[in-house]
Chain A
Amino acid sequence: MTSHTWNLFWGSSFVRTPLRNGVGRYVQQLQRVTFKFCKTHGGSQGMREFIEKDLVDFAKVNPGVVVYLKPRRHRSPCLKAEYLNGEEEYISAHNLSSSDIKKWVEYLRMRSGNPVERLRKYQHTDHPSIQGPWTPWTHRDPEINVTEFPSEKLSAAHVTEKTATEQVIELFEKQKIASGSNTS
């Protein structure tokens, strides 16, 4: 599949982070996480185990994250995460073991909430230039600022090739140098 086709359906983006998160300070992007599970079915076994063993620790370590528990009869378990930018993410936890769920919760906790897309480049900068990008005046002599226009010198035709006279003079100079080096 070409990148064009991919972009039509799934989009693409550049590396970005919300408000330079992690530079100087870190703001937890995960705001709420909901554990939906059934109290009786086997598909929720791992989820129930996670809730019994690890959930309190998780809540203690992450005071910025609101944790909800939502038991519902005879429905398969899932994780719902809500982020600071308003994005939501669901992860089906059906038949997952408690260690798997631990890893998925960790994944949700560390995400920024930005959509998962193909990255066009693996690096990004907001300031591509330190010296300032090239402009037509970058390498020009600042003399042009105080020139009176129209100016004879600047209006003259550009000389692209050497004239016959100049070529002859150059040959003469070369011969002079060659003969000078021979005699000395």
Chain B
Amino acid sequence: MVITSPTLFARARGGDRFWKRRRILSLSAHYFGRKKNCYSIAIKYVNRALRYSTIARRQKKLDLRALWKARITGGSEELGTSYNSMKYTLNDIGIGLDHKILQNMAIWEPRTFRGLALLTKAKETEKGLNSLDGPSVSGVVTRGML
């Protein structure tokens, strides 16, 4: 048996100039003007675009995270609690909802979100955080109160 792959791979390395250029020009196909057709101009813009897209892969996650945080903050502050209390309290209780789901609930299932916010407030009063032995939140009964 003759194994030809390494030889062929070595022979094909570097690639044909035409195909190498096609690869770049296919990425610049939607540009306007000479940066669409002319390789030496296109490569500059393609490199820049790829640099941006590398940064954007991380940036997208950061942006989404900030957006979700803003939404949860808005939703929770309307109900008299805060982003941090909800995050830590729900984590303590063992409700495994992440940012994405929580912000989705705040928008699309607002009653569920209100339930979670009330639960957070009840748990906080039960722990005695940020309160001077205030009244329990009406409508929520937890094990500690009984």
User: Do these two chains interact?
Assistant: yes
- Asked if A5 is at the interface of the complex by the 8 Å CB criterion, the answer is yes
Q: Total A-B residue pairs with C-beta atoms closer than 8 Å? A: 38
* Chain B residues bordering chain A, tally (CB within 8 A): 19
CA distance A22 to B15 in the complex (A): 49
A-B contact pairs, 14 of them (CB 8 A): A1-B27, A2-B49, A2-B53, A5-B30, A9-B29, A131-B108, A131-B110, A131-B112, A134-B75, A134-B106, A138-B110, A139-B78, A139-B114, A177-B132
Establish whether residues B30 and A174, one from each chain, have CB atoms under 8 Å apart when the complex forms: no
CA distance A1 to B111 in the complex (A): 42
**Nearest Cβ distance between residue B96 and chain A, in whole angstroms?**
20
Establish whether residues B107 and A174, one from each chain, have CB atoms under 8 Å apart when the complex forms: no
Contacts of A132 in B (CB 8 A): 110
- Asked if B79 is at the interface of the complex by the 8 Å CB criterion, the answer is yes
B interface SS class:
helix
- Asked if A130 is at the interface of the complex by the 8 Å CB criterion, the answer is yes
Contacts of A139 in B (CB 8 A): 78-79, 110, 114
- 0/1 interface trace, chain B 18-52, chain A, CB 8 Å (1 if under): 00000000110110000000000000000001000
Contacts of B98 in A (CB 8 A): none
CA distance A9 to B28 in the complex (A): 12
CA distance A81 to B46 in the complex (A): 39
**Nearest Cβ distance between residue A180 and chain B, in whole angstroms?**
11
> For chain A, which range describes its interface: under 10, 10 to 19, 20 to 34, or 35 or more residues?
10 to 19
Interface residues of A (CB under 8 A from B): 1-2, 5, 8-9, 128-134, 138-139, 170, 173-174, 177
Contacts of A5 in B (CB 8 A): 27, 29-30
CA distance A131 to B53 in the complex (A): 38
**Nearest Cβ distance between residue A2 and chain B, in whole angstroms?**
5
* Residue in chain A with minimal CB distance to B75: A134
* Residue in chain A with minimal CB distance to B31: A5
A5, A8, A128, A177 — which one has the most chain B CB atoms within 10 A of its CB? Answer: A5
Establish whether residues A129 and B53, one from each chain, have CB atoms under 8 Å apart when the complex forms: no
CA distance A102 to B145 in the complex (A): 69
**Nearest Cβ distance between residue B58 and chain A, in whole angstroms?**
15
- Asked if B109 is at the interface of the complex by the 8 Å CB criterion, the answer is yes
- 0/1 interface trace, chain B 98-128, chain A, CB 8 Å (1 if under): 0000000011111110100000000000000
CA distance A170 to B27 in the complex (A): 66
* Residue in chain B with minimal CB distance to A1: B27
Establish whether residues B107 and A9, one from each chain, have CB atoms under 8 Å apart when the complex forms: no
**Nearest Cβ distance between residue B30 and chain A, in whole angstroms?**
5
* Residue in chain B with minimal CB distance to A136: B78
Given contacts A129-B108, A131-B108, A134-B106, 15 further A-B contacts (CB under 8 A): A1-B27, A5-B27, A129-B109, A130-B109, A131-B111, A131-B112, A133-B107, A133-B108, A134-B107, A134-B108, A134-B110, A138-B110, A174-B132, A177-B132, A177-B133
Contacts of B110 in A (CB 8 A): 131-134, 138-139
CA distance A184 to B5 in the complex (A): 88
* Residue in chain A with minimal CB distance to B79: A139
Establish whether residues A170 and B111, one from each chain, have CB atoms under 8 Å apart when the complex forms: no
